Structure 1
Amino acid sequence: MDQLDRRIIAALQHNARESTTKIAAKLGVARTTVHERIARMEESGVIAGYTVVLREPQDESRVQVCVMLEVQQKETNRIIKRLEAYPEVKLCLSINGEYDLLLSAEAPRIEDLDVLVDELAEIPGVIRTNTSVVFGRRIDRK
């Protein structure tokens, strides 16, 4: 993949239904170039498919937090299994550095997340947590 492929992917991630003609015009290349590159990336598996992303109802605002967990290494798998039981936890990443896991969690109210963070800290094997509230999304390619 080169820079043009990445720019095409970014355009598709923004709007997968946009025509190759419009993408080509935005990127300053020929329509056939965009069409051929998309076909090649689909064939090679770089582009695995397309999907529909549903918008959250306007009346259902959500609060999001990022929680970093330091855990006892031998307890990591058991802790992750426990985290799967919390519907508020949307993402769990294994990371390096001072903390071991990074969670993204969402709920309708900050009070719900306050309870969640307290419960996470009580899981056996969790040494400590560090939580940040998300104010806004600057780039979101979901």
Structure 2
Amino acid sequence: MDQLDRRIIAALQHNARESTSKIAAKLGVARTTVHERINRMEERGVIAGYSVVLNSPEDAPRVQVVVLLEVQQKETKRIINRLEAYPEVKLCLSINGEFDLLLSAEAPRIEDLDILVDDLAKIPGVLRTNTSVVFGRRIDRI
């Protein structure tokens, strides 16, 4: 992948339904170039698919937290299976460093997330947690 491929992907992540003509115009290249590169990235598996992102109703505000978990290594798989049961948990990443898992969770109220974090700390094999409240999204390509 080169810089143009990355720019095409960024445009698609912003709006996957935008026409290749509009993407080409924004990037200053020919429409056929954009079309061929998208096809090539799809064939190579770089672009695995497209999805729909639903907008939350304005009257349903969400609070988001990032939770770091330190876990006993032998319990990681079982802990991840337990995490799947929490609908508030939207993302779980395995990371290196001081903590082992990074979670993104959201709920309508901070009190709901307070209960969630307390519950997470009680899971056998979770050694400690560290939680941060998200104030805002600066770049969101999901």
Greater displacement, 24-33 / 108-117: 24-33
Partner of 1:78: 78
Partner of 1:140: 140
Partner of 1:113: 113
SS at match of 2:69: strand
> Any stretches of 5+ residues in structure 2 without a counterpart?
none
* Equivalent residue letter for 1:51: S
Partner of 1:95: 95
Partner of 1:34: 34
CA-to-aligned-CA distance 1:83-115 (integer Å, 9 cap, x gap)? 111111111111100001111111100000001
Greater displacement, 44-53 / 107-116: 44-53
SS at match of 1:102: strand
* Equivalent residue letter for 2:125: G
Aligned-pair identity in percent equals: 87
State how 1:5-20 maps to structure 2 within 5 Å: 5-20=5-20
Q: 1 CA distance for matches of 2:125 and 2:55?
A: 37
* Equivalent residue letter for 1:43: E
* Equivalent residue letter for 1:136: G
* Equivalent residue letter for 2:43: E
SS at match of 2:90: strand
* Equivalent residue letter for 2:57: P
SS at match of 1:38: helix
TM (norm. structure 2) is 0.95
Q: 1 CA distance for matches of 2:96 and 2:45?
A: 29
